[in-house]
Amino acid sequence: MKQGMTVDDIFIAFKESGIKKGDIVFSHSNIGFFGPLQGVNSKNEYCRIIYQTLMDIIGKNGTFILPSFTYSGFNQEIFDKRITKSKMGILSEYVRNLPNALRSEDPNFSVVAVGKDAEYFIAEVDNYSFGAKSFWSKFMEKDGLFCNFNFDSASTFIHFVEKSLNVDYRFDKGFKCKIMKDGKVEDEIFYHYVYDLEITENKTSFEKFHEYVIENGYAKQVKLGKGEVVTISAKQTYDVVKNQIEIDPYFLRVGEVS
């Protein structure tokens, strides 16, 4: 008996998770956790099949986006969107290297996009990575679909929601970043929405969010191979967090309020 999932398994799981033609999809991914893919022996081919299956479903009017975060500014490293490698896994790197892929110029939280609206999502980068003009704001306005591979339903988008709601346990902090532009290194300040590292209970709990949306049926989980595909829309994510924070301002906070 052959071991591992098939291309048909991937297609069926993606369809069952709610992905459809014309969708705008953002994926945090750890695709290796799906386990073996029958007939595939290379990481590149594994990535190609995952990517192409999703693109076949969303079609020419769809857009696929992945994080290509590098945290370069935090680490005083030069960010060059053409060559700086993503730290977000092999699928992110695979897509980043595609000839039709476009990448935003955020030295910490860049994204890579392919498809109809790729240019829209990577253009005019806001220096506030989670601000009102950021990628995340555009994604919510378009009501994109988060489709995470072997991650829970939470995403970095949560920090955009926290900033939009002006939670009192996070704040904007500027970082001097070095960005390669037209062959020259330019200094720019980019702002991350951080918490005080000395107050560990102020860390955001993605687990709390995930437990809530699964228990209440807001997110969908579909098994694939040894892992799972988890989907939830951007607007649903925003609405859940907003509504729960109105009830409990520390809904997303790791620590309990004494």
DSSP class of 202 = G
Q: Is 71 left (phi over 0), alpha (psi -120 to 50) or beta?
A: left
pLDDT of residue 154: 84
Strand order in the sheet with 220-224: 102-103, 111-115, 63-67, 24-26, 145-149, 227-233, 220-224
pLDDT of residue 66: 98
pLDDT of residue 1: 43
Give the residue ranges of the chain where pLDDT is below 50: 1, 258
pLDDT of residue 258: 46
